[in-house]
Amino acid sequence: MENKEGVPTPFFSPLCFTKTAFMNPLHKVFSILETVVAGQDKGVTYSEILTTLNLPKSSVHRILKELTELGYLNFNPETKRYFGSLRMATLGAEIISHFQLRDHVRPLLLELHRETDHTTNTGVLDGTTGVFVDKIESKDFGIKLFSEIGKTFPLYCTGLGKTLSAFSSNDTVSKLLESPLKAITEKTITDPEVFQQELSLIRTRGYALDNEEITRGIMCVAAPVFGFNRALVCAISITFPAYINDDRGIEPEIAAVKKYAALISGSLGRG
């Protein structure tokens, strides 16, 4: 079935119709903004917005007109497509520049720590290295860990680093592999091809392992945290003695890290 503009009309369940047709005016505005921004590379037409959101034509037309007049959207009359404007980008830049990632992530990082009783970490990408931005250490660990807030860590032999590498751009990985991967322990991956295979595996399963690759006797499980439009924001991890894997396996650790990474991603507006 097609609408008057010739655009295929998708099937909507009653629940979907309830969520869109009866949303309040503010929800409609932000739903339209998010839809336009999601298609920023090519722009979004009026018909595509109608098809995506199943909102009344009159509401969509009015909101698009007002957002364009206010300067938050740009309209290309030749292609009939809407784009997010630089004014909206400026708002986002101001938020990002003042956004305290550590403070936002810490409550759920604390919950991960309480659930597993392991040391928990948050790391971000900085060029071809990683940086620890938060750490909650286990009192019963008994081993001095490599991680310290503000300290850098290598991307190729840490759980956080491999996670950040796996979900970053190809350019980041290429630059990383321009230098030799130096062995830190006997388990450190030093072969670029093996490292690339490891990154592919991480992307498939959604988490990374550091199997005593930077510190003997220590393992780490890490998972990515995404924001709006699935943009990589950071990674979180838990660190623990390797004997746990020998004694009972680490499935609970893997499940916990993935769960809290997903919760943090949701709190950051992952699309």
Computed over every residue of the chain, the mean pLDDT equals 86
Residue-level pLDDT at 94: 64
Mean local confidence (pLDDT), 155-174 = 95
Residue whose C-alpha is closest to residue 122's, from 131, 113, 114: 131
Domain of residue 52 covers 14-94
Assess whether pLDDT exceeds 60 at residue 149.
yes
Domain final position from 43, 59, 94: 94
* Pair 63, 143 in one domain: no
Q: Please check whether residue 4 lies inside any domain of the structure.
A: no
- Provide the 10 A C-beta neighbour count for residue 16: 13
In tens, the pLDDT along 188-198 reads 999 999 999 99
Assess whether pLDDT exceeds 70 at residue 16.
no
Distances (CA, A) of 226 to 105, 133, 163, 194: 12, 16, 12, 26
CA distance 233 to 228: 9
Domain final position from 40, 69, 94: 94
Assess whether pLDDT exceeds 80 at residue 22.
no
Q: Please check whether residue 8 lies inside any domain of the structure.
A: no
Domain final position from 47, 62, 94: 94
In tens, the pLDDT along 34-52 reads 899 888 888 999 999 999 9
Task: Enumerate the H helices of 2-100 as residue ranges.
Answer: 14-21, 25-38, 46-53, 57-70, 86-98
In tens, the pLDDT along 204-216 reads 999 999 999 999 9
Question: Which has the higher per-residue pLDDT, 267 or 1?
Answer: 267
* Pair 110, 221 in one domain: yes
* Pair 228, 259 in one domain: yes
CA 20 to chain centre: 26
In tens, the pLDDT along 229-255 reads 788 999 999 999 999 999 999 999 999
DSSP state of 215: S
Percent of the chain with pLDDT over 90: 68
Residue 130, strand partner residues: 125, 153
Residue-level pLDDT at 101: 86
